[in-house]
Amino acid sequence: MTITLTHFLILSGIIFSIGLYGVLAKRNVVSILMSIEMMFNAVNITLVAFSRYLPVPTSDSAAQGLNGQVFALFIIAVAAAEAAVALAIILAVYRGRRTVSVEDVNLMKW
């Protein structure tokens, strides 16, 4: 049995769905952020798998099949920036309201 592109895509879909459940179902905002990081990782697996199995034809044969890996690197950079800013916001909210539950932070609820 050979591992094909579909195996990696289905694995990535499972991880993405678990992360989606975590984002929707958790109360603790740190836990929601961890689920978002899992979804980032699922997308990264998809991109690298596509670049391995479906490379973009280019004139440069060495660079063939690496565009997806470059995209994955950019996603890692954006995820790091997102995590830093989000955790700073969490600490600022915690300092003001003494809670990390998203259900208790309802200032903008009408």
Partner 1 sequence: MTTESWTTLAFFVIAFFLVVGALGVVLLPRIVHSALALVFFFFMTSGVFILLQAEFIAATQVIIYVGAITVLFLFAIMLTNRSYAADSNPPNSQWMAAVLVAVVTFGILLATFLNGIVPVSTAATPGGVGDITRTLGELLMGPFLLPFEAAGVLLLAAMIGAIVIARET
Which parts of 44-103 interact with partner 1 (CB under 8 A)? 44-45, 48-49, 51-55, 61-67, 69-70, 72-74, 76-85, 87-92, 94-95, 98, 100, 103
> Cα separation of 20 and 59, whole Å?
39
- 15: Cα within 13 Å, side-chain hemisphere: 18
- How near is the Cβ of 110 to partner 1 at its closest, in Å? 19
Measured from the CB atom, the residue of 3 and 108 that comes closer to partner 1 is: 3
Q: Does 43 bind partner 1 (CB under 8 A)?
A: no
Residue type, 79: A
